[in-house]
């Protein structure tokens, strides 16, 4: 909403490529139909704010913050989530 970090990033990029600890807004969800449906159902909906807090020690999965929850998301899955 009033977060300036959200407005500074106009070009959509996949969540797997973003810098950590910065807020982004979800643009759209790509990926296979079923996985896309489940991600949407879990709360990864367009317009929602999301940030990546860290990566697990092997560099994958990513730990993301969404709607007050922490979720582990494989990079493969994060690449389907386009944010700006």
Partner 1 sequence: MNQPVPAVGPPARALTDPTVCLVGMPNSGKTTLMNALTGGHFHTANYPGVTVTLLRGRSKPEHGVPFNLIDLPGVHSAVAPSPEEELACSVIEGRHREVKPDAFILVVDATQLERHLKFASLVGRQGRPVVIALTMMDLLGRTRQSVDPARLASALAVPVIPVDPRTGRGVQELLTALEQRRGALNGGGTLAEIPADPVAAYERVGDLLRCGNCMTRATEVDAVTARLDNFVLHRYLGLPIFLIVLVSLFAAIFWCAQPFMDLIDAGFGAAGDRVKGMAPDSILLRFLAEGVIGGVGAVAVFFPQIMILFFLMTLLEDSGYLARGAALVDRPLAAMGLHGRSFVPMLSGFACAIPAVFAARAIPARRERLLTIWILPLMSCSARLPVYALLLAALLPARAAWQAGFSLAAIYIASLLIASLVAGLTARFLMSSRPPSLLAMELPAYRVPRWRTILKVTWARSSAYLARAGLPIMVVSAVLWLLANFGHAEKTIVAPAPMESSFAAGLGRALQPALEPMGVDWRVGVGLISAFAAREVFVSSMAIVFHVDSDDEGTQRQGLLAQLRGATFPGTARLIFTPASILGLIVFFFFSLQCFSTVAVVRRELNSWPLAGLQLLFYTGLGYALAVASVQTLRALGVA
Q: Which of 43, 79, 82, 84 binds partner 1 (CB under 8 A)?
A: 43
Q: Which of 9, 23, 45, 82 binds partner 1 (CB under 8 A)?
A: 45
Nearest CB to partner 1, comparing residues 18 and 39: 39
Token output for 76: 């493969």
Residue 5 contacts residue 20 (beta carbons within 8 Å): no
In this chain, which stretch among 2-10, 11-19, 31-39 interacts with partner 1, using CB under 8 A? 31-39
Distance of alpha carbon 9 from alpha carbon 42, whole angstroms: 24
Mark residue 6 as left, alpha or beta (left: phi above 0; alpha: psi -120 to 50; beta: remaining).
Answer: alpha
Q: Which of 6, 63, 79, 84 binds partner 1 (CB under 8 A)?
A: 63
């Amino acid at each position: 909403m009033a977060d300036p970090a959200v407005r500074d990033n106009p070009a959509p990029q996949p969540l797997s490529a973003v810098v950590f600890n910065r807020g982004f807004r979800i643009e759209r969800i790509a990926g296979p139909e079923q996985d896309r449906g489940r991600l949407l159902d879990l709360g990864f909906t367009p317009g929602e704010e999301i940030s990546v807090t860290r990566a697990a020690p092997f560099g994958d999965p990513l730990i993301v913050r969404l709607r007050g929850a922490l979720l582990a998301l494989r990079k493969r899955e994060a690449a389907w989530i386009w944010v700006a």
